[in-house]
């Protein structure tokens, strides 16, 4: 497990979903800038109430910073190029909006 902090802008609105046993969680995508200037897509999932509710208060394009457990991934675009990505289980969140 890698503990990490990412910052970027939301791609689309966060969504609440139901898991097994009626458990609720929130998923979102964040576009973060990598060190080389390229964009990196971070797939975010939040199980805890505080980061889940804070994410649901945000909308597409809002700035956000998230802390949690990171897992590196890779995906292939339509042109066959392999791109890096990250999965993040969010434990904490910070936004520009009060109370979040």
Segment 14-26, tens digit of pLDDT = 999 998 888 899 9
If residue 27 lies in a helix (H) or strand (E), which one and from where to where?
strand 24-33
2-95 CATH: 2.40.50.140
Which residues of the chain have a pLDDT value below 50?
Answer: 100
Place of tokens 């910070």: 94
Domain ranges of the chain: 2-95
The DSSP symbol for 12 reads: S
The DSSP symbol for 60 reads: T
Report the alpha-carbon distance of residue 72 to residue 9 in Å, rounded: 19
How confident is the model over 72-82, as pLDDT tens digits? 998 898 999 98
Nearest one of 42, 4, 47 to 26, comparing CA atoms: 47
């Amino acid at each position: 497990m890698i503990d990490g902090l990412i910052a970027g802008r939301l791609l689309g609105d966060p969504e609440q979903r139901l898991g097994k046993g009626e458990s609720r969680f929130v998923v979102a995508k964040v576009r973060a800038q990598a060190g080389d200037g390229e964009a990196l897509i971070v797939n975010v999932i939040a199980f805890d109430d505080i980061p889940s509710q804070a994410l649901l208060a945000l909308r597409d394009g809002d700035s956000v910073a998230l802390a949690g457990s990171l897992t590196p991934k890779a995906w292939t675009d339509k042109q066959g190029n392999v791109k890096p990505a990250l999965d993040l289980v969010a434990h904490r969140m910070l936004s520009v909006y009060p109370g979040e």
